[in-house]
Amino acid sequence: MKNSKIVSNVGRLPAVLWLAALVLSLAVTVSWAAAAIPELQYGEEAQQLLNEGKNGEAAALLKEGVRAYPGSDWLRSLYGRSLFSEGRLDEAEDQFQQALEINKDNPVARMLIKEIRLTKDALKDREMNELVNLGMDKLGDLAVIAIGVWFGMLLSMMSGRLANRFARSNFQRALSGQDWDAVTDILENLVANWKKRELRTNMEMMLAKMPKEEVERIIRAYVDVQRYEDELLFFLRKMHVKRG
């Protein structure tokens, strides 16, 4: 009887082991399924957010996803897409590169890496164009300034010439009318501002009409400021010496 019980128990062992193996297998399967569902949920929820244009929220969710499933090239591709949509090109390219390292045949990662590089090139070209345009604007501003300065100088020259012509005309009129007060006032003003060329021109007009002694007499009689009188007489004598 004792031996028969032992045989009976031994006969039951394979069935018990088989049952244990079955339970363990089911546990592993359930565990794998439980792990697969969250990865799928990460992807589906992130895709929904991307479709709604909520790129920042999708990026935040997928950042958690790739931490939980670092070997998922699918989640990394989605994460890269969300970063790309946010304009974070370098980070997006890094995620796509990691996706390709996991799965070299990932078509999304490969395609979007090319797209990112084209975008970077376009941005560089745009920045260069902006710099060129800025430079052209600056050159344009400088040209406007240069033209303005030149035009101002031209107007100044023209106004100066007109003023000189007007002053010379006034002096000739005063000289012809023998208005010695007006004549000497003009001479005093030229000495005060030391306009040597105009002073010489006016003195020559006087000397063309009268002798040096008469010019000296008019200066002494009509110039009110002694310093101006002395300077005019000195200037007159120097002119007379040069004329010989």
* pLDDT band at residue 83 under the 50/70/90 scheme: very high
Give me the DSSP letters along 115-142. HHHHHHHHHHHHHHHHHHHHHHHHHHHH
Do 15 and 115 have their domain in common?
A: yes
Q: Which domain holds residue 237?
A: 177-243
Higher pLDDT, 157 or 104: 104
Do 84 and 188 belong to one domain? no
| One domain, residues 204 and 99 | no
Q: Are residues 11 and 117 in the same domain?
A: yes
Residue 121 structure tokens: 């090139």
143-195 pLDDT, tens digit per residue, is: 456 555 554 554 454 445 555 566 677 888 888 889 998 888 888 888 778 78
Is residue 225 classed as helix, strand or coil in its secondary structure? Answer: coil
What is the DSSP code string of 170-211? HHHHHHHTT-HHHHHHHHHHHHHTT-HHHHHHHHHHHHHHS-
Domain match, 194 and 94 both? no
Query: What percent of the chain clears pLDDT 70, i.e. is strictly above it?
Result: 67
Question: pTM value?
Answer: 0.41
Collect contacts of 234-242 with beta carbons under 8 A, ≥24 apart: 235/191, 235/199, 235/200, 235/203, 236/203, 236/212, 239/200, 239/203, 239/204, 239/207, 240/207, 240/212
The CATH number that applies at residue 47 is 1.25.40.10
pLDDT tier, 101 (very low <50, low <70, confident <90, very high otherwise)? very high
Phi, psi (rounded to 5 degrees) for 194: 45, 60
Tens of pLDDT, residue by residue over 2-49, are: 444 444 444 444 554 444 444 444 443 434 443 455 888 888 888 888
Residue with token string 């591709």 = 77
Residues 6 or more apart from 241 whose CB is under 8 A from it?
A: none
Q: Which residue has the higher pLDDT, 234 or 21?
A: 234
Number of C-alpha atoms within 13 angstroms, CB side, residue 3? 0
Count of all residues that appear for the chain in the document: 244
